[in-house]
Structure 1
Amino acid sequence: MATVTDYETAALRAAARPLTGGASDYDPLLDLVGDARFVLLGEATHGTAEFYDERARITRRLIEEKGFTAVAVEADWPDAWRVNRYVRGEGADPDGNAALSGFERFPAWMWRNTSVLNFVEWLRKRNDAAGASGNAAKAGFYGLDLYSLFTSIQEVLRYLEEVDPVAAEETRRRYACFDHYDQDSQHYGYAASVGLSESCQKGVHAALHDLQQRAFDYMQADGACAEDAFFYAQQNARLVKNAEEYYRTMFRGRISSWNLRDSHMAETLDALARHLSRPGAPAKIVVWEHNSHIGDARATEIGRQGEWNVGELARKAYGQDACLIGFSTYHGRVTAASEWDGPAEHKHVRPGMPGSYEHLLHSVGIERFFLPLRDPGPARDVLMEERLERAIGVLYLPRTERQSHYFMAQLPQQFDAVIHIDRTSAVTPLDATSGWHSDEPPETYPQGL
């Protein structure tokens, strides 16, 4: 319904926990998390500063107070691994800005921004102190996504050249079928999917299989940090296998490629948890991804069309060990592009549409609040009515707002809690262009209508 009633507003206001910036803001959230091992923190856009900053605030508390030892983000595995080495005091990068410089692919601002830089520097200092005291484990930073096909190929080969040059030559031969595409993953996917060229499927499967078969020998011969080095190479090889399939299927339709991507991210999360777990000390991981990935897809119209996502798969795999936290905003500014591979722009976010969750949460009249959704009560009953929900990704197209950015959902089935920040600001890219710094013209420009 488009009209918000006084009863609905009162029910939500009674359940809302205001966020004032104080140290105890997220006490109710940590109580909700309890002993859960996987806390999935969302975002309603890929370019809102408050979403990044509040996720960082929550993550700091999860690391310090609940023993979480990994942050897994919607980023490519090799680029995030470089950051991981920096925050753990390894590698050659002198500072966080340099460690984040691997993020060159569009949209670089998702991870090369001031909010992420601040968190990375905090994590490095925290890990340095933990290593010096010996009283706490260092926390890492990892990527879950699969877009780094060609970078991951090079990383697999680099590893094998160090531990097994003969296997490196064989793997190079298997990966050679990608050489014709000049580092263009989509070109490969199109050519293979329509039969213009042979797929590389057999080669990437064989490369992963052979690497896994020699795991024991490689970890015995590779010296210090052998387990981490092998895990990094193995995940790159798994990424190459899954990315090859992803790019082949992306021209068949959105659902099949989406499901492959989210299955890969869920598999990577599970592999990371197994790698980091120790006897009597199972790994505890914070996930940073878009709401569309970490909210349970079964509670949305997109799920009814056949899509699944990380949130759904996490609930199925981990049950109460997974806690899903969504984020929402009513209006403000966002960093986003107008077309794929386009420059980062500083855009106005339109007010949430009548009939949307954004509009309903705005009516509560509290600028920032945390809203638990698990327990029965009037607020949960109000939110159980299916409504529109907004999702802004790396593109924001306000002229087609309803068609491009809204879908139907049931919020209490999708998330365990939601954080609403009524007015938000754009995340600041580390490499902002003059176009980002200039004010966006009105949407009616130049007609003025």
Structure 2
Amino acid sequence: MNGISKILIVFTSLCLSSIVGFAQKSQNLSFELKNYSTSLPKYWFVGGKGFSYLLDSIEKHAGKYSLKMEKTGDLNGDFGVYTGTLPIETYAGKSVEYRGWVKTKGVKNGYAGLWLRVDGDNGATLGFDNMEDRGLKGDNNWTQVSIKMDVNKDAKNINFGGLFPGEGTVWFDDLELYIDGEKFVDIVEAAPKTSLSPSELAALKKYSYPLRTYEPDSGDTKDLKPLGKLIGSSKVVALGEVTHGSSEIFKMKNRIIQYLAVNKGFDMFSMEANMPESYKLNDYTVRGEGDPKKLIAGMYFWTWQTDEVLNMVEWMRRFNQPKQRITFTGFDMQFYAGAVNEILNAFKENKEIKDKIDSLKNQLDVVRSNAQKNSGMIVVDASAKKEINGMISFLKNSVEISSFKTAEKAWLQQNIVIIEQYLAMNNYSWRDECMADNFMWIKEQNPQSKFVIWAHNAHIMETNQMQGDHLAQKLKDDYVTFGFSFYDGSYTAVGKKGLTSYDAVKAYPGTLEYLLEQVQEPMFILDLKKAKSDKHKDIEWLLGKLEYRRTGAGGGNPIEFSEGKISEDFDYLIFIKTSSPSTLLPANR
């Protein structure tokens, strides 16, 4: 496999985060469906530095458009690519032929062609063809090319697309798929919904609760009273966020937390932040120990190092005087240092155990260093794993036979679990499973408490094997979710400009937010649970598949929307018309 093939495997694996994870209505094999936010083909990732991309309505093989790629720069090693994914249940164990029409103009120092890749467990390549030995070069009128491949029955992922490593101009169009010799018939997708009828708008308002403000201003809270009915007797309320840097969302969450703590007896707060480090922040909120800015920074991610989070922490400190009424915790496990320090501090007077902990930390440092060189993937060789496992077993036993109180032992054993979770972390689904387990541990230690969870929408959602999916299965009706969304604006994120403000893609026709904006309320709670239960004919559009905003900590991505069933993902949705950037604390400005 040459350099281009290796780059393609890595590149397309990274790109798929933009398109994988939602059910496609159509494969869009002829590029006729346009993504409103990018003006590129819907359901495809299109990219590669040094190239321009266009849905060409002039030069085409059939239909309205072809996909045009043109080399615009001279960066070595780059290539143009479009990438899609095929459903495993349809193609695994079958013979597949992938055809497409390609036109080229002045192609040199490379070629143009199709590509198809089949992956197995742990990303192992089970089949790969990128037409490297037969791609089109020079000038070619529309030419049909194809790839044939037997897809292994153990396939876990199938990607396909078009590839242009070279100079010149290429057009792709009129793709076809054959399964065991039979042509795949693509689904014809209806035009997106762009407006609500008067009856649909009236029905939507029936399930909506306008909100006075997002500011936690200690003012009138009558607009939050519906929360009592919506939450009912549930003891775990999860508050999401559609980006990790929207000021209005952070403030609204703070306002809701304050309301639930003051009026509904919610006494435990748990955040998408590393577990031991989060508990350190509780030393400040309860006893005033430490510098809150440094303790927030100690939770690693810039996302929490904002005025909005600091203001919430300072409110918790005031609320806990003269007696403790809310506890600050976290459930993430992406770092091991805090866990190691907890165990080290507990055994600092025992030289044998302290030496063992120091050795373990050295091994973990090596693992982390290797992971940083390996795109974040944790890989531990057999000999190191055996040595680390021996140290962990020693520490578990040391805790068990120690004279610590039961609660202290439980905490130390949980910190050892954090280390084990970190060592096994090689995908995001594992992280979500661990975060669910860690939250359940916190809940088991506090069986009489009521909890507010603070995390991204993607983690609290009740589908797709995310943290919320695991919690919903374990907690049933005791788990309630509030997703967040907005129509337009900006947010703090990391992107090509670094850590700063980025403009959001404005909601476009066919998206959930585009339709919700027609309610003409600056902010409101939408009762998805009741709408789903009632199944009123004028609300059917809300219960089906819709594109809705799914951003995160990254900025500048033109693809911020993807398809899902919002009524399956969350019980309630809080819509805020406009987002503005969260305010970073001085150290991050």
The equivalent position to 1:352 in structure 2, one of 484, 488, 507, is 507
Could you say which residue in structure 2 is the equivalent of 1:36?
234
In structure 2, how many angstroms separate the alpha carbons of the residues matched to 1:60 and 1:147? Answer: 28
Contact 1:296-1:312 at 8 Å conserved across structures: yes
CA distance in 1, matches of 2:355, 2:288: 28
Aligned pairs for 1:138-287 within 5 A: 138-162=325-349, 164-180=350-366, 185-187=371-373, 193=379, 197-198=381-382, 200-215=384-399, 217-218=401-402, 220-221=403-404, 229-246=408-425, 249=426, 257-277=427-447, 282-287=448-453
Aligned to 1:443: none
Deviations 1:355-389 (A, max 9, x none): 11111211221110011111233365331011012
- Separation (CA, whole Å) in 2 of partners of 1:190 and 1:40: 28
- Aligned partner (choices 118, 122, 126) of residue 319 of structure 2: 126
Per-residue CA deviations over 1:176-198 (Å, capped at 9, x if unaligned) read 423435756434787863x7x44
Name the residue aligned to 2:310.
Answer: 117
Query: Structure 1 residues 156, 36: CA separation in 2 closer, same or farther (over 3 Å shift)?
Result: same
> Which of 447, 461, 475 in structure 2 is aligned with 1:318?
475
Task: Look up the match of 1:100.
Answer: 296
User: 8 Å contact 2:344–2:354 — kept in the other structure?
Assistant: yes
Structure ranking higher on relative contact order (CA contacts 8 Å, 6+ apart)? 1
In the other structure, the counterpart of 1:391 is 550
Match of 1:361 among 504, 516, 529: 516
Of the three residues 17, 25, 46, the one matched with 2:209 is 17
Number of the residue aligned with 2:35: none
Residues 27-76 of structure 1 show CA distances to partners (whole Å, capped at 9, x for unaligned) of 11222111111111101110001111111111112222222221111111
Note if contact 1:72-1:144 (Cα within 8 Å) is conserved in structure 2: yes
- For 2:540 and 2:337, locate their aligned partners in 1 and report how far apart those are by CA, in whole Å: 48
Cα distance in 1 for partners of 2:565, 2:368 equals 44
Q: Percent identity?
A: 25
* Structure 2 unmatched runs, 5+: 1-191, 214-219
CA contact 2:238–2:452 (8 Å) conserved in 1 = yes
Output the CA distance in 2 between the equivalents of 1:213 and 1:412. Answer: 47
Distance (Å, rounded) in 2 between the aligned partners of 1:211 and 1:66 = 41
Greater displacement, 388-397 / 172-181: 172-181
Question: Do structure 1's residue 423 and structure 2's residue 578 form an aligned pair?
Answer: yes
Secondary structure of the residue aligned to 1:363 is helix
RMSD: 2.5
Structure 1 partner of 2:243: 45
CA contact (8 A) 1:201 1:244 kept: no
Alpha-carbon spacing, 1:179–1:214, altered in 2? closer, same or farther (3 Å):
closer
Is the 1:208–1:234 Cα contact (8 Å) retained in structure 2?
Answer: no
Superposed displacement of residue 98, structure 1? 3.7
- CA distance, structure 2, for counterparts of residue 88 and residue 217 of structure 1: 31
Q: Does the residue aligned with 2:526 lie in a helix, a strand or coil?
A: strand
Name the structure 1 match of 2:562: 407
CA contact (8 A) 2:547 2:562 kept: yes
Contact 2:490–2:581 (8 Å) recurs in 1? yes
- Partners of 1:295 and 1:182 lie apart in 2 by 29
Residue 563 of structure 2 aligns with an amino acid whose one-letter code is M
Aligned to 2:457: 291
- In structure 2, the residue matched to 1:81 is 279
Q: Distance in 2 between matches of 1:386 and 1:120?
A: 38
Shift of 1:203: 4.7
CA distance in 2, matches of 1:141, 1:381: 40
Q: Tell me if the contact between 1:149 and 1:240 (Cα under 8 Å) persists in the aligned partners.
A: yes
Preserved CA contact (<8 Å) 1:175 1:204: no
Contact 1:326/1:415 (<8 A) preserved: yes
2:268 alignment counterpart: 70
Name the counterpart of 1:4. Answer: 195
Higher strand share: 2
Structure 2 length normalisation: TM-score? 0.61
Contact 2:200 2:539 in 1 (8 A): no
Confirm or deny: 8 A CA contact 2:282 2:329 kept in the other structure: yes
Distance in 1 separating the partners of 2:378 and 2:296: 33
**Alignment gaps of 5+ in structure 1:** 132-136, 250-256, 298-302, 435-449
Q: Which has the larger radius of gyration?
A: 2
Distance 1:138 1:204 in 2: 40
Is the Cα–Cα contact under 8 Å of residues 240 and 457 in structure 2 kept in the other structure?
A: yes
What does residue 528 of structure 2 align with?
373
Count, aligned residues = 387
Deviations 1:194-235 (A, max 9, x none): x7x4474445545554444454554x44xxxx5665444333
Q: 1:228 to 1:25 in 2, by over 3 A?
A: farther
- Indicate conservation of the 8 Å contact 1:40/1:322, yes or no: yes
The residue type paired with residue 386 of structure 1 is: K
CA–CA separation in structure 2 for the residues paired with 1:185 and 1:151: 18
Residues 187 and 325 (structure 1), Cα distance of their counterparts in 2 relative to 1, 3 Å cut: same
* 2:332 pairs with 1:332: no
Change (3 A) 1:205 1:238: farther
Residues 266 and 205 from structure 1, CA distance in 2 versus in 1: closer, same or farther, beyond 3 angstroms?
A: farther
- Structure 1 or 2: larger helix share? 1
Q: Tell me whether 73-82 or 329-338 shows the greater mean CA deviation.
A: 73-82
Cα deviation, 1:4-38, whole Å, max 9, x if unaligned, reads 23143332123211101341122112221111111
Instruction: Give me the whole-angstrom Cα distance separating, in 1, the residues matched to 2:246 and 2:272.
Output: 15
Structure 1 residues 37-46 or 373-382, which shifts more? Answer: 373-382
Distance 1:330 1:388 in 2: 13
The code of the aligned residue for 1:117 comes to: L
Give the CA deviation at 1:259.
1.2
- The one-letter code of the counterpart of 1:169 is D
